[in-house]
């Protein structure tokens, strides 16, 4: 872990064949990161732009686009899982995540079947199956955990979603007869600020803050539930635009028992800064007061949560659709 005593972890939000064989190994051996995540947008970028996949794609000619995608993705996830396995065995995270087909986000049965199939096909114990935090997703999370499969709940924006994930994780573990699986609740951060900062500027409110305070709210909820097998993970922590340093969201959310998964450039910036020492989030009263200010500025957070969730799902749908079309 990046901060052992505080149980603060850094994971890399990037997967690509050549990187896994080189730079990723360096980060692992240096003890700077202890996990990784992937998503449809990351795979789209890697598979369509990196020359490292050309021979593999040629060998898969004649397969369906989804079969080609899964073969490439599974190979990368297996490679990452093998590198991370010593950390996993030592109890130092060591997880790599793979997401189910984004078009299954409202299909509980389909998500469960695909999650189990991917987990078994990869054949590594340190794989987390990524499931969007929809109503169907909650059902799938519970079922997968009940099978002893680690789960990464993704596209979490609201405290209500986080509560649904916590309930699902708790119920799944109670039904599990195998070794207790781990779960992370991935709350997205920067997208709030990209959506709201221009509105809040009209009320002389500071930018780059809504996402951080909302993440603090979810973090406190996860911590207060006290599930030993579940941690809060801060995602979407790359800075887009100007005004703050590129590792701003990592430094702002350096909390005990938390994880931050960040793009490679963001990670490198943070590691170069030498930042050490966890901090505490705002307390409940401070969080409530801030969101009252947001409300006074005309922002309805429930509407923002719904909008961001819909946009997040559509972004993953689009990336996956474009990837499959390109693999035709």
* Cα distance between the two ends of the chain: 41
The structure tokens listed for 291 are: 């969101």
CB contact burial 194-225 (16+ within 10 A = b; e otherwise): bbbbeebeeeebeebbbbbbbbbbbbbbbbeb
CA-CA-CA-CA torsion sign (67, 70, 76, 79):
negative
Active centre residues (catalytic): 130
SS3 of residue 225 by DSSP: helix
Which spans in the chain are helix H? 17-21, 23-29, 40-49, 54-59, 65-89, 108-122, 135-146, 159-175, 190-201, 210-225, 248-252, 264-273, 284-296, 301-326
SS3 of residue 252 by DSSP: helix
DSSP state of 205: P
Q: Is 276 exposed, middle or buried (0-12, 13-18, 19+ CB in 10 A)?
A: exposed
Q: Given the DSSP bridges, would you call strands 150-156 and 183-188 parallel, antiparallel or unpaired? A: parallel
Q: Which pairs count as long-range contacts for 77-80, CB under 8 Å and 24+ apart, including other chains?
A: 77/15, 77/38, 77/122, 77/124, 77/127, 78/122, 78/123, 78/124, 79/17, 79/20, 79/21, 80/15, 80/20, 80/24, 80/36
The structure tokens listed for 119 are: 């987990």
């Amino acid at each position: 872990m990046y901060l052992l005593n505080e149980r603060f972890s850094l994971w890399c939000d990037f997967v690509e064949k050549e990187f896994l064989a080189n730079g990723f190994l360096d980060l692992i051996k240096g003890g700077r990161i202890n996990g990784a995540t992937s998503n449809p947008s990351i795979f789209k970028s890697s598979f369509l732009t990196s020359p490292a996949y050309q021979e593999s794609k040629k060998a898969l000619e004649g397969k369906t686009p989804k079969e080609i995608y899964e073969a490439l993705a599974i190979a990368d996830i297996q490679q990452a899982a093998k590198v991370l396995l010593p950390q996993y065995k030592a109890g130092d995270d060591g997880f790599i995540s793979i997401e189910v087909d984004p078009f299954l986000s409202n299909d509980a049965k389909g998500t469960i079947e695909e999650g189990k199939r991917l987990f078994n096909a990869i054949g590594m114990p340190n794989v987390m199956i990524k499931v969007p935090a929809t109503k169907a997703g909650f059902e799938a999370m519970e079922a997968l955990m009940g099978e002893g499969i680690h789960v990464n709940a993704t596209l979490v924006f609201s405290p209500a979603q986080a509560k649904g994930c916590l309930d699902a994780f708790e119920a799944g573990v109670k039904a599990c007869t195998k070794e207790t699986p781990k779960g992370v609740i991935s709350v997205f951060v920067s997208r709030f600020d990209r959506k709201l900062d221009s509105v809040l500027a009209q009320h002389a409110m500071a930018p780059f803050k809504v996402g951080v305070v909302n993440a603090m709210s979810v973090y406190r909820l996860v911590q207060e539930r006290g599930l030993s097998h579940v941690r809060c993970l801060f995602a979407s922590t790359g800075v887009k635009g100007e005004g703050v340093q590129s590792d701003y969201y990592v430094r702002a959310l350096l909390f005990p028992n938390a994880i931050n998964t960040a793009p490679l450039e963001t990670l490198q910036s943070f590691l170069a800064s030498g930042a050490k020492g966890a901090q505490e989030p705002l307390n409940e009263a401070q969080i409530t007061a801030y969101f009252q200010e947001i409300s006074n500025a005309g922002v309805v957070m429930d509407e923002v949560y719904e909008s961001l969730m819909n946009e997040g799902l559509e972004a993953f749908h689009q990336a996956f659709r474009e990837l499959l079309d390109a693999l035709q």
